[in-house]
Structure 1
């Protein structure tokens, strides 16, 4: 439980959050949203105790364990596996204590340690750590590589894994998807849905917020406002709230004008003095409602390319290798035209970025041919694009380097369309935020009027408004687009076909992103089920039964057969009950969807009633997810037990 009571937070002299009260309970997954500078990170630091609130308080149980994703990794000699495992500090200490107790021959202490290890599921800790490494995209050969050997992006993944390894009650995540690919984001989403504690996440990834959040806290104009539901529900409820606020403001202004007119006309007349005075009191009592002020919307557009050759570029039987011995990509054939709108999918390490770099001309193919039009002009945005900026130079300097004939005023005007105004265009970019640097890098690409855009994670560090602006601009762009992104919303809005990079090849993915996400989730859950079934040295009775099913060639004795038949009846009963309940849940969710999908609902129901419907749907969907997991596991066990009993008939 986290209790915010009249919380007021300042940064220097600026009030960021004023008088916020809200109760957060376990299993709440809260998305913290708002423009940059509204206080999201400051609120995180206040929850963590690094900052003191100016007024009010945050009440958190003293024994609550909090985990966060560190922004940096200090020098360490630990391997990736050891670093992930260190997220469970109690486990690490218990293992140290166990070695010491063994050396001292302290049997009582050893027994206590083993009891505690069993209580915290410590005997499966190594397996959980390996599962986290795998889910975060690390290959088996990287598990025991030193942390210092990994690049910055991979170190951030290790920090995420360490935070997830901690058996925390409260988990704080600040932009967790920035250094992940789409496949890893799906895995993290699925993991977070199972998290039993309180999750608070800062993210500009709309799809990520939609998929995991049960509540949204919006920071705006020094206020923190809590909404029930995911990000899409928040947008709907906020729009309704603002519409109601504006309507009430306009109504009050009409009443105010009418009363004031009466006061001005009759206040000097003795016969009307009493009535005028009553109108003055009515004016004083009239609720002071502020007008709705629209948030600044950012928009830009790509310039029309000078030429649009068709095709733009073609790959014929292209292969690529880094070491000369092992191909990353093999015999790739691809034709890109001005109409191409392609999203590139595939697990990390399969070659997505390598393919983009070859098309961009940064890598030369080891075999095959790349045939580009003489009028091809590529706009390439890599996931490390901001690292190529000159930190000691200003935005205007970067634009002038692209075209010496551009005037200072033309450069300033162009940068203004990307949110760089006034003296900002003449400031060194070293202290700029990650989002500002990404905006400048994007502006430089747009300035060059490309006819082919190659975008490799273009939305890292960008806020939701900027991401939506990119999506709108890409829909109007007249050239070809190839995109690698973990932002599902951007992919869905801008791509009309998807290709999957896997097993050194390139194949068209027939479904949409929902199909791909479900495919990934099923793969991940199947791997988790297989991992859970592996026997440990602390097997429970059920685990013993499961391990017995793997010994199908051995004849079972009478007691074992009886035990298995009892277990089979129990599992059959539970799966049948789960199946019936799933059917009822599906019907209930469909009925709520029908109501929420009907435009008249928002005319006939209040925002509070709509919130109740969203709450009910979310509860039903969470129960549905748990039941589906149990049903799948139960069905798999039933099949195994039936096979084993058939063999022993």
Structure 2
């Protein structure tokens, strides 16, 4: 159990928590939500011992093991797989002790350590590491690459894999989905749902919170408020509280009117597709939860250019990519006002390539391309944040676009994006990633495009800004192409999906649940070939280094045989002992006099003993089958390797 009692955290003059109370029980999965800057990351630092409370008490179980996802990767020459395995400190400790014992030829100690390695699932450690890498989107060959060879985003993924590899009672994850694509997020959801310890997670991805969390802690007004249920449940409860206020109610009705307007337009556009039905259900739910955001400072919109072309942009049988590498072939696309397309596909399949080609940043390699006379593109991508002038203010960025606009007009517009007072006049170099992303969206909205091309626009945005962005895109009258790992945003802003995979762009007839199934089927289909890729070719002989490595692996496998055989024998003896006891109990229970009223207590004890022995028998048999299967697989592997 984790307990905060009358706890206060101050950062300089800023109060993050003041006399806050919170109790979290073991095994809970808890989402930490709240606006940027309220102190969510500081709460994690408190739990990690990196920050001390200014007042109050923090109670945590003694000996608790904590794993967390670091936001930076220290310089290291280790390979990706070794870096991840380092997260399992018990594994590394046993391996180090085993190396010493083998060097000193301590036979009994070696046997003990192999048994300990077996109990720590150490023989499967490398396999688990490769599974984590695959689940988070790494290629099989990436396992042998040095950590320093990866870009910043992929290093963060390595940190996440390392945290998942750790043996922990408490797992702290701060925005784990920021650097993941949709495929990896879906995989991570499944992994976390089966995590046996206590999970605390900071996230602005509402679908992720809905699918994993059982409790929500809302950080607001220097307090911690615990809600039972997932994010939607929290939002609904909070909405009920807020809707009691008249002013909040009126603002809620304005939001609901916006949604209803979109629903009317959407019903007229698509009523048969499975995605349409999914969207309508989601919009019905949004009508109930919208009041939870009535206190949001964001209320922006994307006005569409008054001049439109039909179509705005089209390409026919186009090859996309580079002269020396075609990524997508024979792409045909026709974008008219009102088109709303979400791009799905594995990481690296070409979604960003398609968007950049539509923008004109990458030249089309072949095929036809036609642009409407009045085409006006609004393009968002993460690299645009780096292109902002860090010495200029948000106001100056807009003034450069429209020198004749009045200061009040610009202030009103920036205020809808949350830049109020001095925030609109300060140099943006001090802005957070979320504030820079808001400014980039504001610059796009100011120019009134008729085609929006958005590549992961929600990275760094908190839940309130994401909600405002969803409403703004729903009301946008131009064409939209969206790449996002935020499923809630996709579900509520696009009418159709296109699948970018295997060098092609095709219509995806289904919703996001169908896409999840498609990913699972694809992974299963690719698994055998991936395994073959990791094996040396049968048609060539091994070189000296490979032969040495093969001998080392075979020696390790032979060393594993002995403790496995001992474990199997031990479990067999245990099964025999339990079976003998069960036979004794059956014999005793067959005595008719046992069922007389005078023997009631004795009968109760015998029946309880029988139930317990039966339970133990089932558990031991399962363990025996697992160990026997592992032993047989190892013996078969050794036989094949040595033949």
Instruction: Find the counterpart in structure 1 of residue 575 from structure 2.
Output: none
Instruction: Find the counterpart in structure 2 of residue 299 from structure 1.
Output: 299
Q: CA deviation at 1:179?
A: 1.1
Matched, 1:156 2:118: no
Counterpart mapping for 1:33-112 below 5 A? 33-112=33-112
1-structure distance, mates of 2:524, 2:30:
24
Contact 1:6 1:19 in 2 (8 A): yes
Instruction: Find the counterpart in structure 2 of residue 418 from structure 1.
Output: 417
Q: CA deviation at 1:526?
A: 9.0
Contact 1:187 1:521 in 2 (8 A): no
Contact 2:297 2:418 in 1 (8 A): no
2-structure distance, mates of 1:241, 1:530:
55
Shift in alpha-carbon separation, 1:515–1:52, aligned structure 2, 3 A: same
Q: Can you list the C-alpha shifts for 1:189-242, whole angstroms capped at 9, x where unaligned?
A: 111101011110111111111010000011121221111100001112223345
Normalised TM-score (structure 2): 0.73
Q: CA deviation at 1:174?
A: 0.9
Instruction: Find the counterpart in structure 2 of residue 23 from structure 1.
Output: 23
Which range moved further: 483-492 or 144-153?
Answer: 144-153
Which range moved further: 300-309 or 236-245?
Answer: 236-245
Instruction: Find the counterpart in structure 1 of residue 443 from structure 2.
Output: 444
Matched, 1:181 2:185: no
Q: Can you list the C-alpha shifts for 1:29-48, whole angstroms capped at 9, x where unaligned?
A: 10001112222111111111
Q: CA deviation at 1:525?
A: 8.2
Matched, 1:3 2:3: yes
1-structure distance, mates of 2:366, 2:159:
38
Q: CA deviation at 1:140?
A: 2.0
SS at match of 2:428: coil
Q: CA deviation at 1:498?
A: 0.6
Contact 2:320 2:326 in 1 (8 A): yes
Counterpart mapping for 1:222-241 below 5 A? 222-241=222-241
Q: CA deviation at 1:521?
A: 5.1
Q: CA deviation at 1:147?
A: 1.7
Instruction: Find the counterpart in structure 1 of residue 216 from structure 2.
Output: 216
2-structure distance, mates of 1:167, 1:403:
56
Instruction: Find the counterpart in structure 2 of residue 196 from structure 1.
Output: 196
- Once superposed, what is the RMSD of the aligned Cα atoms? 3.1
Contact 1:26 1:196 in 2 (8 A): no
Contact 2:65 2:170 in 1 (8 A): yes
Instruction: Find the counterpart in structure 1 of residue 327 from structure 2.
Output: 328
Counterpart mapping for 1:372-451 below 5 A? 372-451=371-450
Matched, 1:471 2:485: no
Shift in alpha-carbon separation, 1:80–1:45, aligned structure 2, 3 A: same
2-structure distance, mates of 1:211, 1:526:
26
Q: CA deviation at 1:342?
A: 0.4
Q: Can you list the C-alpha shifts for 1:230-260, whole angstroms capped at 9, x where unaligned?
A: 00011122233456799xxxxxxxxxxxxxx
Shift in alpha-carbon separation, 1:301–1:53, aligned structure 2, 3 A: same
Matched, 1:145 2:145: yes
Contact 2:32 2:202 in 1 (8 A): yes
2-structure distance, mates of 1:413, 1:244:
29
Instruction: Find the counterpart in structure 1 of residue 454 from structure 2.
Output: 455
Q: CA deviation at 1:541?
A: 8.9
2-structure distance, mates of 1:517, 1:75:
36
Contact 2:86 2:92 in 1 (8 A): yes
1-structure distance, mates of 2:490, 2:25:
34
Q: CA deviation at 1:468?
A: 0.7
Which range moved further: 44-53 or 234-243?
Answer: 234-243
Q: Can you list the C-alpha shifts for 1:401-429, whole angstroms capped at 9, x where unaligned?
A: 32344454443332222111222222111
How many residues are paired up?
501
SS at match of 1:430: helix
1-structure distance, mates of 2:425, 2:14:
26
2-structure distance, mates of 1:239, 1:73:
40
Shift in alpha-carbon separation, 1:9–1:438, aligned structure 2, 3 A: same
Instruction: Find the counterpart in structure 2 of residue 585 from structure 1.
Output: none
Shift in alpha-carbon separation, 1:360–1:244, aligned structure 2, 3 A: closer
Instruction: Find the counterpart in structure 1 of residue 134 from structure 2.
Output: 134
Contact 2:411 2:424 in 1 (8 A): yes
Q: CA deviation at 1:522?
A: 6.2
Shift in alpha-carbon separation, 1:352–1:530, aligned structure 2, 3 A: closer
2-structure distance, mates of 1:120, 1:25:
26
Q: Can you list the C-alpha shifts for 1:299-328, whole angstroms capped at 9, x where unaligned?
A: 11112313111111112112234471x432
2-structure distance, mates of 1:89, 1:523:
34
Q: CA deviation at 1:531?
A: 11
Instruction: Find the counterpart in structure 2 of residue 285 from structure 1.
Output: none
1-structure distance, mates of 2:165, 2:328:
34
Which range moved further: 53-62 or 293-302?
Answer: 293-302
1-structure distance, mates of 2:511, 2:59:
44
1-structure distance, mates of 2:380, 2:244:
42
Which range moved further: 13-22 or 190-199?
Answer: 13-22
1-structure distance, mates of 2:46, 2:453:
40
Contact 1:190 1:521 in 2 (8 A): no
2-structure distance, mates of 1:23, 1:217:
10
Shift in alpha-carbon separation, 1:99–1:216, aligned structure 2, 3 A: same
In structure 2, list runs of 5 or more residues that go unmatched: 247-291, 535-553, 569-621, 630-643
In structure 1, list runs of 5 or more residues that go unmatched: 247-291, 546-629, 638-649
Counterpart mapping for 1:488-527 below 5 A? 488-520=487-519
SS at match of 1:143: helix
1-structure distance, mates of 2:23, 2:114:
37
SS at match of 2:18: strand
Contact 2:177 2:185 in 1 (8 A): yes
Contact 1:127 1:531 in 2 (8 A): no
Contact 1:186 1:520 in 2 (8 A): no
Instruction: Find the counterpart in structure 2 of residue 582 from structure 1.
Output: none
Contact 1:317 1:332 in 2 (8 A): yes
Normalised TM-score (structure 1): 0.72
Q: CA deviation at 1:518?
A: 4.0
2-structure distance, mates of 1:489, 1:71:
25
2-structure distance, mates of 1:42, 1:483:
33
1-structure distance, mates of 2:163, 2:423:
37
1-structure distance, mates of 2:193, 2:493:
28
Contact 2:20 2:222 in 1 (8 A): no
SS at match of 2:113: helix
SS at match of 2:349: coil
Contact 1:360 1:378 in 2 (8 A): yes
Which range moved further: 17-26 or 193-202?
Answer: 17-26
Instruction: Find the counterpart in structure 2 of residue 124 from structure 1.
Output: 124
